[in-house]
């Protein structure tokens, strides 16, 4: 893995164990009640407590509609299998040799912003979404993988750690291979810390090239139920 060390200084301390946010006022339905499109419920707002409740139920926010937040649990679900360990594809191995530096939780807001700015079709990472996940980061739940080149952010990814589940939300790159380096770095971090489930939500051609697979939602929910009962530190303060 590329060397760790922050080009931007020490960075903020990471809260561990994570601090529970205020409980949401609503209870999301069972993920098995999702419609054909995988939508479980709709809301007009998003709070840290509601996001955590969702992930503990195998649901994630999928803000693809203006003014409304859909809460989704499609079938099948996409994951990256942490075990057994297999060799990385050649294109990933090549990216690892490009000399990037990797840090964790040093540039959370910048990584989230990059994930939004990098999408030509527009972004669901609105100011409200950014504020919600930034609060989850401050409470110790949300984390970033930051990839640097010559002191500048070159790419990264962010997601949530709940128990031994890590739910990857989004990734981006400004330089060739930087998002692949971030992906490898998070996989190695999860394995080091004893995580059991790396959720990547919905399959895409790019995720397939990284080794992600699909599993039935029922199997995914069984894995989530086990994972959230096994607290693991993604980061050590």
pLDDT digits (tens, 9 = 90+) for 118-131: 555 556 788 889 99
Look at residue 13 in the predicted model and tell me its pLDDT: 65
Look at residue 74 in the predicted model and tell me its pLDDT: 97
Strands 69-72 and 60-61: antiparallel
Average pLDDT, the chain: 91
Percent with pLDDT over 70 in the chain: 90
Task: Count Cβ atoms within 10 A of the Cβ of residue 8 and give its class: 0-12 exposed, 13-18 middle, 19 or more buried.
Answer: middle
CA quadruple 39, 43, 46, 51: dihedral positive or negative? Answer: negative
**Which of the four CATH numbers 3.40.630.70, 1.10.3720.10, 3.90.1170.10, 3.40.50.11060 does domain 1-237 have?**
3.40.630.70
Q: Which two tokens stand for residue 140?
A: 């110790």
Look at residue 5 in the predicted model and tell me its pLDDT: 42
pTM of the model: 0.92
**Mean pLDDT score, 127-139:** 94
pLDDT digits (tens, 9 = 90+) for 8-42: 544 566 788 999 999 999 999 999 999 999 999 99
What's the order of all strands across the beta sheet hosting 213-215? 101-104, 142-149, 152-162, 165-173, 197-201, 77-80, 213-215
Secondary structure in 3-state letters for the chain:
CCCECCCCCCCCCCCCCCCCCCCCCCCCCCHHHCCCCCEEEEECCCCHHHHHHHHHCCCEECCCECCEEEEECCCCEEEECCCCCCCCCHHHHHHHCCCCEEEECCCHHHHHHHHHHCCCCCCCCCHHHHHHHHHHHHCCCEEEEEEEECCEEEEEEEEEEECCEEEEEEEEECCCCHHHHHHHHHHHHHHHHCCCEEEEECCCHHHHHCCCEEECHHHHHHHHHHHCCCCCCCCCC
Checking if the pLDDT of 1 tops 90, the result is no
Domain ranges (residues) in the chain: 1-237
Q: Are 182 and 145 in contact (CB under 8 A)?
A: yes
pLDDT digits (tens, 9 = 90+) for 211-235: 999 999 999 999 999 999 999 999 8
Look at residue 118 in the predicted model and tell me its pLDDT: 55
**Mean pLDDT score, 63-81:** 90
Percent with pLDDT over 90 in the chain: 82
């Amino acid at each position: 893995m590329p060397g760790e060390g922050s080009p931007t200084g020490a960075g903020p301390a990471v809260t561990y164990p994570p601090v529970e946010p205020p409980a949401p006022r609503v209870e999301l339905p069972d993920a098995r009640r999702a419609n054909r499109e995988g939508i479980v419920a709709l809301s007009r707002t998003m709070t840290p407590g509601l996001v955590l409740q969702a992930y503990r139920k195998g649901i994630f926010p999928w803000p693809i509609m203006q003014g409304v937040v859909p809460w989704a649990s499609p079938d099948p679900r996409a994951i990256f299998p942490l075990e057994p360990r297999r060799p990385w594809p050649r294109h990933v191995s090549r990216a690892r040799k490009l000399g990037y530096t990797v840090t964790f939780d040093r540039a959370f807001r910048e990584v989230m912003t990059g994930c939004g700015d990098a999408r030509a079709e527009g972004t669901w990472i609105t100011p409200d979404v950014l504020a919600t996940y930034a609060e989850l980061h401050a409470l110790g739940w949300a984390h970033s993988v930051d990839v640097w080149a010559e002191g500048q952010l070159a790419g990264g990814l962010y997601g949530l750690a709940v128990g031994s589940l890590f739910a990857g939300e989004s990734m981006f790159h400004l330089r060739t291979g930087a998002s692949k380096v971030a992906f490898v770095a998070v996989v190695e971090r999860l394995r080091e810390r004893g995580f059991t489930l790396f959720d990547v939500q919905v399959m895409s051609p790019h995720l397939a090239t990284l080794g992600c697979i699909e599993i039935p939602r029922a199997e995914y929910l069984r894995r989530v139920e086990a994972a959230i009962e096994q607290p693991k530190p993604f980061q050590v303060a």
